[in-house]
Amino acid sequence: MGLRINNLPNAGALRQSNKATKNLLRGLERLASQERINRAADDASGLSISERLRSEIRAGQQENENLQSGVNLVQTAEGGLSAQQDAVGRLQELAVQASNGILTDDQRASLNAEAQQLVEQIDQTGSSTEFNGTQTLDGSVSNVDLGTSGSEEVNVEVSNASTLGVDSIDLSTQAGASAAISAAETASTRISGNRSSLGAQQARFERSIENREIRIVNEQEADSRIRDLDVARQSIEQSRNQLLQQSSLSALNNSSLVGETALRLLGQ
Protein backbone atom coordinates (compact mmCIF):
# COMPACT_ATOMS: atom_id res chain seq x y z
CA MET A 1 0.00 0.00 0.00
CA GLY A 2 1.48 3.39 -1.03
CA LEU A 3 1.70 6.58 1.09
CA ARG A 4 0.44 9.76 -0.58
CA ILE A 5 1.05 13.36 0.56
CA ASN A 6 -1.71 15.75 -0.68
CA ASN A 7 -1.58 19.61 -0.29
CA LEU A 8 -5.19 20.22 -1.30
CA PRO A 9 -6.47 20.47 2.29
CA ASN A 10 -3.76 23.04 3.00
CA ALA A 11 -4.81 25.12 0.01
CA GLY A 12 -8.48 25.03 1.01
CA ALA A 13 -7.74 25.99 4.60
CA LEU A 14 -5.48 28.83 3.44
CA ARG A 15 -8.16 30.14 1.10
CA GLN A 16 -10.74 30.13 3.90
CA SER A 17 -8.28 31.83 6.25
CA ASN A 18 -7.56 34.60 3.73
CA LYS A 19 -11.27 35.09 3.08
CA ALA A 20 -12.07 35.31 6.79
CA THR A 21 -9.21 37.78 7.34
CA LYS A 22 -10.42 39.93 4.46
CA ASN A 23 -13.95 39.96 5.86
CA LEU A 24 -12.65 40.83 9.33
CA LEU A 25 -10.70 43.81 8.00
CA ARG A 26 -13.71 45.00 6.00
CA GLY A 27 -15.89 44.62 9.09
CA LEU A 28 -13.43 46.66 11.18
CA GLU A 29 -13.52 49.39 8.54
CA ARG A 30 -17.31 49.43 8.63
CA LEU A 31 -17.42 49.51 12.42
CA ALA A 32 -14.92 52.37 12.45
CA SER A 33 -16.89 54.44 9.93
CA GLN A 34 -20.33 53.26 11.12
CA GLU A 35 -21.23 52.95 7.43
CA ARG A 36 -22.08 49.86 5.42
CA ILE A 37 -20.83 51.45 2.20
CA ASN A 38 -17.31 52.92 2.23
CA ARG A 39 -16.44 52.45 -1.44
CA ALA A 40 -18.22 51.67 -4.69
CA ALA A 41 -17.23 48.00 -4.49
CA ASP A 42 -19.31 47.60 -1.33
CA ASP A 43 -22.56 48.48 -3.13
CA ALA A 44 -22.25 50.37 -6.41
CA SER A 45 -25.94 51.16 -6.90
CA GLY A 46 -26.46 51.96 -3.22
CA LEU A 47 -23.50 54.35 -3.26
CA SER A 48 -24.89 56.14 -6.34
CA ILE A 49 -28.30 56.63 -4.71
CA SER A 50 -26.74 57.70 -1.42
CA GLU A 51 -24.46 60.28 -3.05
CA ARG A 52 -27.38 61.75 -4.98
CA LEU A 53 -29.40 62.00 -1.77
CA ARG A 54 -26.52 63.65 0.05
CA SER A 55 -26.09 66.15 -2.77
CA GLU A 56 -29.79 67.03 -2.56
CA ILE A 57 -29.56 67.33 1.21
CA ARG A 58 -26.64 69.76 1.01
CA ALA A 59 -28.41 71.81 -1.66
CA GLY A 60 -31.59 71.91 0.44
CA GLN A 61 -29.69 72.99 3.53
CA GLN A 62 -28.02 75.81 1.59
CA GLU A 63 -31.36 76.90 0.16
CA ASN A 64 -32.72 77.09 3.70
CA GLU A 65 -29.79 79.29 4.69
CA ASN A 66 -30.55 81.51 1.69
CA LEU A 67 -34.22 81.69 2.67
CA GLN A 68 -33.29 82.52 6.24
CA SER A 69 -31.17 85.40 4.98
CA GLY A 70 -34.29 86.55 3.12
CA VAL A 71 -36.26 86.40 6.38
CA ASN A 72 -33.55 88.44 8.08
CA LEU A 73 -33.60 91.02 5.28
CA VAL A 74 -37.39 91.30 5.51
CA GLN A 75 -37.22 91.72 9.27
CA THR A 76 -34.61 94.45 8.89
CA ALA A 77 -36.71 96.30 6.33
CA GLU A 78 -39.82 95.89 8.47
CA GLY A 79 -37.93 97.34 11.43
CA GLY A 80 -37.07 100.42 9.39
CA LEU A 81 -40.70 100.79 8.29
CA SER A 82 -41.82 100.49 11.89
CA ALA A 83 -39.54 103.37 12.85
CA GLN A 84 -40.90 105.42 9.95
CA GLN A 85 -44.46 104.68 10.99
CA ASP A 86 -43.73 105.91 14.51
CA ALA A 87 -42.35 109.12 13.03
CA VAL A 88 -45.40 109.52 10.77
CA GLY A 89 -47.64 108.97 13.77
CA ARG A 90 -45.88 111.75 15.61
CA LEU A 91 -46.15 113.96 12.49
CA GLN A 92 -49.89 113.41 12.45
CA GLU A 93 -50.11 114.29 16.12
CA LEU A 94 -48.16 117.51 15.55
CA ALA A 95 -50.30 118.37 12.53
CA VAL A 96 -53.49 118.00 14.54
CA GLN A 97 -52.02 120.16 17.26
CA ALA A 98 -50.85 122.83 14.77
CA SER A 99 -54.27 122.97 13.12
CA ASN A 100 -55.69 124.45 16.31
CA GLY A 101 -56.58 128.08 15.50
CA ILE A 102 -55.77 129.19 19.05
CA LEU A 103 -52.02 128.63 18.57
CA THR A 104 -49.74 131.54 17.77
CA ASP A 105 -47.34 131.63 14.83
CA ASP A 106 -44.38 131.09 17.17
CA GLN A 107 -46.01 128.00 18.63
CA ARG A 108 -46.67 126.61 15.17
CA ALA A 109 -43.09 127.39 14.22
CA SER A 110 -41.88 125.25 17.13
CA LEU A 111 -44.18 122.42 16.09
CA ASN A 112 -43.00 122.75 12.50
CA ALA A 113 -39.35 122.58 13.59
CA GLU A 114 -40.00 119.21 15.24
CA ALA A 115 -41.97 118.07 12.19
CA GLN A 116 -39.06 118.86 9.87
CA GLN A 117 -36.74 116.85 12.10
CA LEU A 118 -39.16 113.94 11.84
CA VAL A 119 -39.24 114.24 8.05
CA GLU A 120 -35.44 114.18 8.07
CA GLN A 121 -35.52 111.13 10.33
CA ILE A 122 -37.86 109.33 7.91
CA ASP A 123 -35.46 110.03 5.05
CA GLN A 124 -32.46 108.96 7.11
CA THR A 125 -34.17 105.71 8.05
CA GLY A 126 -34.97 105.07 4.40
CA SER A 127 -31.35 105.58 3.35
CA SER A 128 -29.61 103.84 6.25
CA THR A 129 -31.69 100.69 6.74
CA GLU A 130 -29.59 97.87 5.32
CA PHE A 131 -28.89 94.17 5.71
CA ASN A 132 -25.46 92.74 4.88
CA GLY A 133 -24.64 95.81 2.81
CA THR A 134 -27.95 95.73 0.92
CA GLN A 135 -30.04 98.89 1.20
CA THR A 136 -33.61 97.82 1.83
CA LEU A 137 -35.73 100.97 1.65
CA ASP A 138 -33.97 103.47 -0.60
CA GLY A 139 -34.80 101.79 -3.91
CA SER A 140 -31.25 100.58 -4.62
CA VAL A 141 -32.57 97.02 -4.80
CA SER A 142 -36.27 96.31 -5.17
CA ASN A 143 -36.08 92.58 -5.98
CA VAL A 144 -33.54 90.32 -4.25
CA ASP A 145 -33.18 86.82 -5.72
CA LEU A 146 -32.47 84.36 -2.90
CA GLY A 147 -31.02 81.70 -5.21
CA THR A 148 -33.47 78.90 -4.47
CA SER A 149 -35.02 76.27 -6.73
CA GLY A 150 -38.35 78.08 -6.47
CA SER A 151 -36.79 81.43 -7.49
CA GLU A 152 -37.85 83.06 -4.23
CA GLU A 153 -37.41 86.84 -4.15
CA VAL A 154 -37.64 89.59 -1.57
CA ASN A 155 -39.66 92.52 -2.88
CA VAL A 156 -39.29 95.82 -1.03
CA GLU A 157 -40.98 99.11 -1.92
CA VAL A 158 -39.08 102.39 -1.68
CA SER A 159 -39.97 104.20 1.52
CA ASN A 160 -38.74 107.74 2.16
CA ALA A 161 -40.25 111.16 2.80
CA SER A 162 -40.83 111.77 -0.90
CA THR A 163 -42.55 108.45 -1.71
CA LEU A 164 -44.61 108.73 1.46
CA GLY A 165 -45.69 112.24 0.52
CA VAL A 166 -44.51 113.99 3.69
CA ASP A 167 -41.45 115.77 2.28
CA SER A 168 -43.31 119.05 1.82
CA ILE A 169 -45.17 119.13 5.12
CA ASP A 170 -45.32 122.62 6.65
CA LEU A 171 -46.99 123.21 9.98
CA SER A 172 -46.18 126.93 10.16
CA THR A 173 -49.73 127.79 9.05
CA GLN A 174 -53.12 126.43 10.02
CA ALA A 175 -53.87 125.50 6.38
CA GLY A 176 -50.55 123.72 6.09
CA ALA A 177 -51.24 121.81 9.29
CA SER A 178 -54.63 120.67 7.97
CA ALA A 179 -53.03 119.44 4.75
CA ALA A 180 -50.34 117.67 6.78
CA ILE A 181 -52.98 115.62 8.62
CA SER A 182 -54.17 114.09 5.34
CA ALA A 183 -50.60 113.57 4.12
CA ALA A 184 -49.63 111.78 7.34
CA GLU A 185 -52.67 109.52 7.12
CA THR A 186 -51.78 108.59 3.53
CA ALA A 187 -48.15 107.95 4.52
CA SER A 188 -49.23 105.71 7.39
CA THR A 189 -51.45 103.70 5.05
CA ARG A 190 -48.59 103.25 2.57
CA ILE A 191 -46.21 102.10 5.28
CA SER A 192 -48.79 99.67 6.62
CA GLY A 193 -49.26 98.22 3.14
CA ASN A 194 -45.51 97.81 2.72
CA ARG A 195 -45.20 96.13 6.12
CA SER A 196 -48.08 93.78 5.29
CA SER A 197 -46.35 92.79 2.05
CA LEU A 198 -43.12 92.09 3.90
CA GLY A 199 -44.98 90.09 6.53
CA ALA A 200 -46.58 87.93 3.85
CA GLN A 201 -43.18 87.35 2.24
CA GLN A 202 -41.64 86.36 5.57
CA ALA A 203 -44.46 83.89 6.19
CA ARG A 204 -43.91 82.42 2.71
CA PHE A 205 -40.17 82.04 3.27
CA GLU A 206 -40.72 80.39 6.64
CA ARG A 207 -43.16 77.92 5.10
CA SER A 208 -40.62 77.16 2.38
CA ILE A 209 -37.96 76.58 5.03
CA GLU A 210 -40.28 74.23 6.91
CA ASN A 211 -41.14 72.27 3.76
CA ARG A 212 -37.48 71.90 2.87
CA GLU A 213 -36.64 70.79 6.40
CA ILE A 214 -39.24 68.02 6.13
CA ARG A 215 -37.81 66.96 2.77
CA ILE A 216 -34.26 67.02 4.14
CA VAL A 217 -35.24 64.83 7.10
CA ASN A 218 -36.88 62.32 4.75
CA GLU A 219 -33.81 62.28 2.50
CA GLN A 220 -31.51 61.83 5.50
CA GLU A 221 -33.56 58.89 6.68
CA ALA A 222 -33.47 57.34 3.20
CA ASP A 223 -29.70 57.82 3.04
CA SER A 224 -29.32 56.32 6.49
CA ARG A 225 -31.24 53.19 5.49
CA ILE A 226 -28.99 52.75 2.47
CA ARG A 227 -25.61 53.63 3.91
CA ASP A 228 -25.59 53.29 7.68
CA LEU A 229 -24.26 50.15 9.30
CA ASP A 230 -26.32 47.69 11.32
CA VAL A 231 -23.78 47.52 14.16
CA ALA A 232 -25.37 44.56 15.92
CA ARG A 233 -25.46 42.52 12.73
CA GLN A 234 -21.89 43.48 11.84
CA SER A 235 -20.70 42.52 15.33
CA ILE A 236 -22.24 39.06 14.90
CA GLU A 237 -20.60 38.80 11.48
CA GLN A 238 -17.25 39.73 13.02
CA SER A 239 -17.58 36.94 15.60
CA ARG A 240 -18.42 34.48 12.83
CA ASN A 241 -15.41 35.55 10.75
CA GLN A 242 -13.13 35.25 13.77
CA LEU A 243 -14.31 31.69 14.33
CA LEU A 244 -13.79 30.88 10.65
CA GLN A 245 -10.31 32.36 10.77
CA GLN A 246 -9.39 30.41 13.88
CA SER A 247 -10.78 27.17 12.38
CA SER A 248 -8.85 27.72 9.15
CA LEU A 249 -5.63 28.40 11.03
CA SER A 250 -6.19 25.30 13.15
CA ALA A 251 -6.77 23.23 10.01
CA LEU A 252 -3.55 24.63 8.53
CA ASN A 253 -1.62 23.70 11.65
CA ASN A 254 -3.07 20.19 11.64
CA SER A 255 -2.28 19.72 7.96
CA SER A 256 1.26 20.85 8.60
CA LEU A 257 1.64 18.29 11.42
CA VAL A 258 0.32 15.50 9.19
CA GLY A 259 2.78 16.45 6.48
CA GLU A 260 5.71 16.52 8.92
CA THR A 261 4.71 13.13 10.27
CA ALA A 262 4.54 11.65 6.76
CA LEU A 263 7.95 13.08 5.91
CA ARG A 264 9.43 11.60 9.04
CA LEU A 265 7.97 8.23 8.16
CA LEU A 266 9.38 8.47 4.67
CA GLY A 267 12.71 9.44 6.12
CA GLN A 268 12.71 6.36 8.21
- CATH of 45-226 given 1.10.10.10, 1.10.1740.10, 3.50.50.60, 1.20.1330.10: 1.20.1330.10
Query: Which pTM value belongs to this model?
Result: 0.73
- For residue 263, pLDDT beyond 80: no
Q: What is the pLDDT of residue 224?
A: 86
Per-domain residue ranges of the chain: 45-226
pLDDT surpasses 80 at 241:
no
Lowest mean pLDDT among 5-19, 73-87, 100-114: 5-19
The mean pLDDT value of the chain amounts to 84
Distances (CA, A) of 118 to 125, 134, 220: 10, 24, 53
Ranking 65-74, 122-131, 195-204, 253-262 by mean pLDDT, the lowest is 253-262
Average pLDDT of the residues in 185-192: 96
Alpha-carbon distance 256 to 13, whole Å? Answer: 11
Q: What is the CA radius of gyration of the chain?
A: 40
Asked which of 19-23, 106-110, 210-214 is least confident by mean pLDDT, the reply is 19-23
pLDDT score at 151 = 80
